[in-house]
Copies of this chain bind each other. A is one copy, B any other.
Amino acid sequence: MKNHFLLDLSYLFARAVGPGGIAEADLETGAARLAFDAFEARRAKGEIGFVDLPRRRDLSAACREAAAEIRAEATDFLHVGIGGSALGPRALVRALTHPHANLLDAQRRGNPRIFFLENADPETLSGLRDVVDLSRTWIHVVSKSGGTVETLAQWLIVREWLVEAVGEKEARRRTVFTTDPDRGALREVARAEGIRALDIPPNVGGRYSALTPVGLLPLAVAGIDPDSVLNGAQDVMQMCTSPKIDENPALQLACALHALDVHHGKHIHVLMAYADALADTAEWFRQLWAESLGKRYDREGREVFCGPTPVKAVGAIDQHSQLQLYLEGPPDKVILLLGTRARKHALAIPRDTAGRGEMAYLGGHGLGELLDVEQRATEEALARSARPCASLELDAVTPESLGALYQLLELATGYAGELYGVNAFDQPAVEVGKRIAYHALGRPGYASESSPPPPRDARRRFPR
């Protein structure tokens, strides 16, 4: 079993950062064991599917098989999905492929360009048509429920384009769905039309689905072995088997962040990635943490309005944007710095041209070294300013370490749900807005809300 990362929570504690940090006693309440046991009990009942994904090699094999066919034929691969059907796949592909993959792959065979169609934005989708080669395009349509409106709408449009370009039968052959095996519109269509469909296990929700075909198929299309990602995730499952916080990194992380929120007023949880490759991973985590923990009712039905607000940040970029606020603003934040201990390129800063006043000291250092130094300096500046922070450093940005990272953070989210006392696996609130939108679109069965919307006020409008 490999570790894949170094997690250091030292600077979350009062011992290091003063009274804004956690007291040791915060973690010795027995809450960790209760949360661990509650999580394990739900898992034993089959309610928590993501923990089993590392062993689902049948799913990775199906992705490898489909990807081989796609890679042999396609120049363009369109991944249609939103929320949990987009954030994980996009983040994994970005982390593990060339930073300008689509520009590069336009010039060479074998690696299809991968496009993520997330938003229902007509400018973005129209623009896509200007650049893809529809005669060599494959499409991957992803929705756990099978009925996500933005995804279906985009698929219906692109499907028409494909049919025009290659005919109906061939368009069907170049389409892959990934959805629940038992229910939903996509599954129905797949059965009726003979479209290939991959599975998201029924007990795996959208935001926990990155390591299903949702994320594994695009990775395989990009030429990355999906099993290597699952291997890293599997290592984390072996690492996190203890109810003792000192032996279970996901549990210690969850307990620390929970205690900082509820006992120390750290309501904002920043994940700050010190590598462009990991920036989208911070966005993936933002959904995981927000949608899992932001709940009105606890599991006993009491009104709690709980949930920390996750924020995505990127170092060193946000040193020039958010760090001023993090260091001097209200002490309501905890910052988790996500880095990597090895970078592929050193990229030395030339010495000979650096001979002028303000630049001379840069010559001979590496660009990656600069970024590492800045990460450590930010961590130290935060700790010296009594702002709790932690660091999570991958051994390197590899398929294995990414699999480990995703599984670690999903486990921490599951434990955190138990610590907050909420269901980390539902999202009841988003139905309200959907009902209003369905009514406006004329979907049968959706009446208007019984009361009128709140009144507007002419004095509050510009121009009048």
Q: Please measure, in the bound complex, the distance between the C-alpha atom of A326 and the C-alpha atom of B185, giving whole angstroms.
A: 28
Given contacts A429-B328, A433-B374, contact A291 B381 (CB under 8 A): no
User: Once bound together, how far apart are the Cα atoms of A98 and B275, in whole Å?
Assistant: 27
A343 within 8 A of B: yes
- Contact residues in B for A128 (Cβ distance below 8 Å): 99-100
Determine if B276 and A124 form an interchain contact, defined as CB atoms under 8 angstroms apart: yes
A296 proximity list for chain B (CB < 8 A): 327-329
CA A56 – CA B137 in complex, angstroms? Answer: 48
- Interface contact B119-A314, CB-CB below 8 Å: yes
Q: Is the CB of A460 within 8 A of B12?
A: yes
A184-206: CB near B (< 8 Å → 1, else 0) gives 11001100000000000000001
How far apart sit A384 and B316, CA to CA, in the bound complex (Å)? 39
Give the residue among A154, A350, A385 with the most B Cβ atoms within 10 A. Answer: A350
Query: Bound state CA distance, A453 and B323, in angstroms?
Result: 19
Asked whether, in the complex, the Cβ of A345 is within 8 Å of the Cβ of B122, the reply is yes
Contacts of A58 in B (CB 8 A): none
Among B124, B239, B275, which residue has its beta carbon within 8 angstroms of that of A123?
A: B275
**Is A443 close to B, CB under 8 A?**
yes
Quick check: B442 and A185 within 8 Å, CB to CB?
A: no
Q: Give per-residue flags for A361-386: 1 if the beta carbon is below 8 A from chain B beta carbons, else 0.
A: 11101111011011011101101110
Q: Please, which residues of chain B bring their CB within 8 A of the CB of A252? A: 460, 462
For window 206-226 of A, CB contacts with B under 8 Å fall at 206
Are B153 and A120 neighbours in the complex by a CB distance under 8 Å?
A: no
Complex: A347 Cα to B122 Cα, angstroms: 6
Is B106 a contact of A103 with CB atoms below 8 Å? yes
- A220-238 interface code vs B (CB 8 A; 1 in, 0 out): 0000000000000000000
Binary contact readout A165-191 vs B (1 if CB under 8 angstroms, 0 otherwise): 000000000000000000011001100
- Check A17 for interface membership: any CB of B closer than 8 A: yes
A122 near B344 with CB under 8 A, answer yes
A309 to B318, CA, bound (A): 13
- CB-CB under 8 A from A440, the residues of chain B are 373, 376-377
Known A-B contacts A322-B286, A329-B294; the reply to A362 vs B152 at CB < 8 A is yes
- A321 with B377, Cβ < 8 A, contacts A130-B104, A330-B267 known: no
Selected from B15, B293, B323, B461, the residue in CB contact (under 8 A) with A9 is B461
Residue of B nearest to A443 (CB): B361
Sample (15) of A-B pairs whose CB atoms are under 8 Å apart: A15-B457, A16-B454, A83-B320, A87-B321, A120-B371, A156-B354, A156-B363, A157-B349, A188-B356, A287-B320, A296-B328, A307-B325, A309-B311, A323-B430, A384-B449
- A-B pairs with the 5 shortest C-beta distances? A83-B320, A294-B325, A294-B329, A99-B127, A307-B329
